[in-house]
Chains A and B, each alone.
Chain A
Amino acid sequence: MTETIVPKKIYFRVWGTLLILLAVTVGVAYIHLGWFNPAAAVGIAGIKALIIILYFMHVRYSPKVLWVFVSAGFVWLGMLFLWTLGDYLTRSYLPPPTIWPQ
């Protein structure tokens, strides 16, 4: 919980940044960058989420214990992503066992 009152101009700056990033996301999508397209899309979305969390949701001005609570959800989601995708991405590395030769 924050005692700090965040000045309005910071909110407006964040809002402006968010709208610019929105334009960038859409613009970059039209340029063919191969695997970098989804990476950029998620990356920009991540930055937007970060500034919403830090400024609009006041986390930047909150005690450290709150930062742990905020990150926990994302870290755990990361674990779900990591090991699930880890399965799918490594399936081709080792072929499944075949029938014993007669």
Chain B
Amino acid sequence: MSTQLAIFTREHYLNVSYGWKSWLFTRDHKRIALLFLMTITFFFFLGGAFATMVRLELMTPQGDLFQAQTYNKLFSMHGIVMIFLFLIPSIPAVLGNFLVPIMIGARDLAFPRLNLLSWYLLVIGGVFTLWAIVAGGVDTGWTFYTPYSSLFSNTNVVLAVIGIFISGFSSILTGLNFIVTIHQMRAPGMTWFRLPLFIWSHYATAIIQVLGTPVVAITLLLVAVERVWRVGIFDPALGGDPILFQHLFWFYSHPAVYIMILPGMGVVSELITTHSHKQIFGYTFVAFSSLAIAIIGFAVWGHHMFVAGQSQYASLMFSILSFLVAIPSAIKVFNWTATLYKGSISYSAPMLYALGFIGLFTIGGLTGLFLATTAVDLHVTDTYFVVAHFHYIMVGGMVMAYLGGIHHWWPKISGKMYPEGWARLAALIVFIGFNLTFFPQFVLGYLGMPRRYYAYADEFQVLNVMSTAGASILAVGYVLPMVYLIWSLRYGESASANPWGATGLEWQIPSPPPTENFEETPIVEEPAYNYESYSRASV
């Protein structure tokens, strides 16, 4: 009763001011995080709509639902929207923006206005991409390989490229903001090695965002120049080299996948420790593994080009380094598992998502090693094996981490608890739907079904139907949280400051937090995850 009153009368970041101007011109990182949340949720469902159409077409071996070129547009738009407008911003722009300042004990990020600009850039980039879609889409694949994209495609390449270019700057600004904030604005006593691992992984992600994105920006700009000016930069007829495009493109786009997973790993570190009420095993290893992934991840891009005509020595080197980059990821998985051991595990929805992440990310990561092996890659490249591999990591990994994080911090963000029963059900549905959708695709790929084709050999139909069926279940799993989270805003139980009994500065302030986050700057004296270890008492 008194907590209800407290929320009515206590001032916090949501009720401190009203009206559209107070949101569109806000400098509060928490409000900006919510602006991002709404934007990327929209793009998630748009990308999902494209995926639905793809899976519907693939229910039958013939190309009967769409024309070939339309199908090319569908998977291209699915990729572009999901990667650039959903996955890349997702956790950093929503959870990172909300939590980074609070977790380090600061009042806001270093550059609040740049933060707001970052959101506007994502929206503008999204508008250009929507324009490209409405004008007829793009059929080049999200990878924009030349010379098709620069010379031959009759679709809206330039519009799409502008959209990605602009949203890329959104990503760069977020990264810059995080790096400077984490360096400069930690509270007294918050040394680097007392930081939550969420911060370490966002720092590593920010490095990639800042140093990788500009290269894809200039590369796509050159593609646009080639299209508009009608000259050959990557055109073989004019002496250009399409493989140069691939080098420049993948220099960013491979590290980009680490932009898309590292924040998820940061979330999982938080979820595992909180919901097993236990100190993380091997803090230093997990922290440095994030940096290792970010740095080594820049040296492996050629594994996307094993069959493109790259030098065999280069392929050899990229292959070895790709194996190497798996090691820090594996270290994290081992450490999370060791953290769970003898922990007081609660099977709350966030924990279910975290456990799902560990299993599915492991499968996705291991299949990456298959692909890193040049001899195996020769057979499975450009097949559904690759599609399954990256969906296991992006969807089975990142999206589950994202949902887990949204649930875990929902009480903090909204001041309300979500309905636990429904949330667990949704997590289960997502897990089942996901595996049914994507596991058959490993088999399909291994058996030889190529990706990006709208028709396939008859013998692949059963697995494809399984996959589409799984997708429909997955869709239910994604819609459910939308429904009950919005429901909880009105009817949910009020949340206390620390409903999980977690460590971390964000749980020391009220739910929802006041605009300035802290009444007084906190002074940090304890290590991170300083849980009383229940395992000492139990045998």
A–B proximity contact (CB within 8 A):
yes
A68–B386 Cα distance when bound, in Å, is 37
Complex interface: chain B residues within 8 A of A65 (CB):
183
Given contact pairs A83-B317, A87-B310, enumerate 18 new A-B contacts (beta carbons under 8 Å).
A76-B211, A76-B298, A79-B298, A79-B299, A80-B248, A83-B299, A83-B301, A83-B302, A84-B248, A84-B251, A87-B247, A87-B311, A89-B311, A90-B312, A91-B310, A93-B311, A93-B313, A94-B313
Cβ of B314 within 8 Å of any chain A Cβ, yes or no, is yes
Query: Which residues in window 299-320 of B have CB below 8 A to A?
Result: 299, 301-302, 309-314, 317-318
Q: When the two chains form their complex, are residues A80 and B314 in contact, meaning their CB atoms are under 8 A apart?
A: no
A sample of 10 cross-chain residue pairs with beta-carbon separation below 8 angstroms, ordered by A number, consists of A73-B211, A76-B211, A83-B302, A83-B317, A84-B251, A86-B311, A86-B313, A87-B243, A87-B314, A94-B311
Number of A-B contacts (CB under 8 A): 48
Residue-wise, chain A 38-70 has the 8 Å CB interface mask toward B (1 for contact) of 000000000000000000000000000100000
Complex interface: chain B residues within 8 A of A94 (CB):
311-313
Cβ of A19 within 8 Å of any chain B Cβ, yes or no, is no
Using known A-B contacts A65-B183, A72-B211, determine if residue A83 contacts B311 with beta carbons closer than 8 Å: no
Residue-wise, chain A 77-100 has the 8 Å CB interface mask toward B (1 for contact) of 001100110111111011010000
Closest CB in chain A relative to B538 CB, distance in Å: 45
Complex interface: chain A residues within 8 A of B243 (CB):
87
Using known A-B contacts A65-B183, A80-B215, A83-B317, determine if residue A88 contacts B311 with beta carbons closer than 8 Å: yes
Closest CB in chain B relative to A96 CB, distance in Å: 8
Complex interface: chain A residues within 8 A of B317 (CB):
83, 86
A90 is contacted by which of B247, B298, B311 (Cβ under 8 Å)? B311
Q: Which residue of A lies closest to B215 (CB)?
A: A80
Closest CB in chain B relative to A93 CB, distance in Å: 6
Q: Which residue of A lies closest to B321 (CB)?
A: A83
Complex interface: chain B residues within 8 A of A76 (CB):
211, 298
A79–B208 Cα distance when bound, in Å, is 13
Residue-wise, chain B 134-160 has the 8 Å CB interface mask toward A (1 for contact) of 000000000000000000000000000
Q: When the two chains form their complex, are residues A91 and B311 in contact, meaning their CB atoms are under 8 A apart?
A: yes
The number of chain A residues with a CB under 8 A from chain B is 17
Q: When the two chains form their complex, are residues A80 and B310 in contact, meaning their CB atoms are under 8 A apart?
A: no
Q: Which residue of A lies closest to B298 (CB)?
A: A79
Complex interface: chain A residues within 8 A of B310 (CB):
87, 91
Complex interface: chain A residues within 8 A of B311 (CB):
86-91, 93-94
The number of chain B residues with a CB under 8 A from chain A is 21
Residue-wise, chain B 6-18 has the 8 Å CB interface mask toward A (1 for contact) of 0000000000000
Complex interface: chain B residues within 8 A of A96 (CB):
309, 312
A94–B301 Cα distance when bound, in Å, is 21
Residue-wise, chain A 18-51 has the 8 Å CB interface mask toward B (1 for contact) of 0000000000000000000000000000000000
Complex interface: chain B residues within 8 A of A87 (CB):
243, 247, 302, 310-311, 314
Complex interface: chain B residues within 8 A of A90 (CB):
311-314
Closest CB in chain A relative to B239 CB, distance in Å: 14
Complex interface: chain B residues within 8 A of A84 (CB):
244, 247-248, 251
Q: Which residue of B lies closest to A94 (CB)?
A: B312
B314 is contacted by which of A72, A73, A83 (Cβ under 8 Å)? A83
Q: Which residue of B lies closest to A76 (CB)?
A: B211
A83–B312 Cα distance when bound, in Å, is 13
Complex interface: chain B residues within 8 A of A80 (CB):
215, 248, 251
A88–B312 Cα distance when bound, in Å, is 10
Complex interface: chain B residues within 8 A of A89 (CB):
311
Top 9 closest pairs, chain A to chain B, by CB: A87-B314, A90-B313, A90-B311, A91-B311, A94-B312, A76-B211, A84-B247, A87-B311, A87-B310
Complex interface: chain A residues within 8 A of B314 (CB):
83, 86-87, 90
Q: Which residue of B lies closest to A93 (CB)?
A: B313
Q: Which residue of A lies closest to B308 (CB)?
A: A87
A87–B251 Cα distance when bound, in Å, is 13
A90–B299 Cα distance when bound, in Å, is 17
Complex interface: chain B residues within 8 A of A93 (CB):
311-313
A76–B251 Cα distance when bound, in Å, is 10
Complex interface: chain B residues within 8 A of A83 (CB):
247, 299, 301-302, 314, 317-318
Complex interface: chain B residues within 8 A of A88 (CB):
311
Closest CB in chain A relative to B73 CB, distance in Å: 31
Closest CB in chain B relative to A67 CB, distance in Å: 13
Closest CB in chain B relative to A4 CB, distance in Å: 20
Q: Which residue of B lies closest to A65 (CB)?
A: B183
Complex interface: chain A residues within 8 A of B313 (CB):
86, 90, 93-94
A73–B302 Cα distance when bound, in Å, is 21
Complex interface: chain A residues within 8 A of B247 (CB):
83-84, 87
A80–B244 Cα distance when bound, in Å, is 11
A13–B312 Cα distance when bound, in Å, is 49
A86–B310 Cα distance when bound, in Å, is 10
Complex interface: chain A residues within 8 A of B244 (CB):
84
